[in-house]
Chain A
């Protein structure tokens, strides 16, 4: 019998919410279910226990509250690591490609698993992507989407958020983006996600996620221990790094799931600069060859390699 690797372990935020895969209606989660899939550590199990009601079912209001607080802390991390600017630099060339295909209508950029929509709101506030770009965040969690929409309205940002599947929107995406989402899909699920890209009419995608490295778990532990207050954020933050996919894993999944896209990787092998580059990105564009893609991302130099 093989032991499951640490990378296959769950994050708490994956376990404490559940949705019907077809309707995306929220389903009850019992404490026993969570604890059964979360053997360790004790701190994570304690967090799960604090979310349970007297009946043994997780209290949805408590779950939403802890997720909102954890996402606020996650946003701070994204701000400090300048994820918004990175995404702007990566998505702008993709939008140019999508513009050519859009035939004059607005280019729709959809953030898959947007959480509280930091990247979408940042792009709306500071991205300068143009008035012909429509920014939408999609997430299954209604509480996070509501928070994202409130924040966008408070700052009068030209973007919107929907509770639902990013691939099942009434008006499909031209460019699909995500940040810190890919590592939530394990094994065959990862290729299945890319297969959804293939089936969609999207012109391209940009998926940014944590780059695994030998020192990343230690660095992540230190950072989360020092900076995160929510025990859930501390646990999931470190677990995310441990679960981060290697670039070749993502590349294989993208190649098998979305063969119609020309693929490239950013910062898959950053060398010493990897100490400062904690993210990597997987990019795909449809109907554009490798040379044109390299030209579009010339500013990244050798950081970008065609897959």
Chain B
């Protein structure tokens, strides 16, 4: 359950990161196909990121002298991650629901709440959440898994954004 929750949270975050990476790069008015393509690209990247992190965790477990103990440590850290990132994702989802508000003015709430302050907070939440998850553990495998997760989650938007960096050139 914890593993599934972590994977879902990671995919959701990469999806939003990919959308953000695509935003502000295309000047057309009708953008649904553009954002759909960005979403598929993000999901593919998300699957890669989750798979890579899962493979690392599996390797860390398999290489441990006490695999069950290591898995237990990793799982405890995962539960803590789910608490922090789950709360952040819930907040984000609630704000995004305002996109479907019947009153037009309320539809800018996601822009004001999610796309502004929460985007600014995201790296801090990732670092803070991972620290909260690993700080009680003396197992270096837990710290390594946390470090890998942090680097991949924070770096993914930059990587996805590289695909859009030169789009402006066709306009000049």
Residues of A within 8 A of B (CB): 61, 64-65, 68-69, 71-73, 75-77, 80-82, 85, 116, 118, 121-122, 125-126, 143, 146-147, 150-151, 154-155, 157, 219, 222-223, 225-229, 273, 275-277
Contact = CB atoms under 8 A, between A and B. Distances in A.
Contacts of B116: 219, 222-223, 226-227
Contacts of A126: 29
Contacts of A64: 172
Given A225-B120, A226-B115, A155 B28 contact: yes
Interface residues of B, number: 27
17 contacts: A65-B168, A68-B168, A76-B24, A77-B24, A81-B111, A82-B104, A118-B27, A147-B171, A150-B170, A151-B28, A155-B29, A219-B112, A226-B120, A227-B23, A227-B115, A229-B24, A276-B112
Interface of B: 20, 23-30, 104-109, 111-112, 115-117, 119-120, 161, 168, 170-172
A65 B104 CA distance: 34
A261 B30 CA distance: 36
Contacts of B108: 80-82, 276
Contact of B27 (A72, A125, A225): A72
Contact of B29 (A68, A121, A228): A121
A73 B104 contact: no
A72 B27 CA distance: 6
Contacts of B168: 65, 68-69, 72
A80 B111 contact: yes
Contact of A276 (B20, B27, B105, B115): B105
B105 A147 contact: no
A122 B106 contact: no
B172 to A, nearest CB: 6
Contact of A151 (B27, B105, B111): B27
A229 to B, nearest CB: 7
Contacts of A61: 172
B29 A122 contact: yes
Nearest to A116: B27
Contact of A75 (B24, B104, B115): B24
Given A219-B116, A222-B116, A225-B120, A73 B28 contact: no
Nearest to A117: B27
A65 B126 CA distance: 34
Contacts of A154: 28
Contacts of A75: 24, 27
A72 B24 contact: yes
B28 A226 contact: no
Given A81-B111, A276-B112, A76 B23 contact: yes
A37 B33 CA distance: 43
A126 B29 CA distance: 9
Given A68-B172, A82-B108, A276-B109, A147 B30 contact: no
A151 B171 contact: yes
Contacts of B112: 219, 223, 275-276
B120 A80 contact: no
A157 B109 contact: no
Contacts of A277: 105
Contacts of A143: 172
A151 B107 CA distance: 26
A157 B171 contact: no
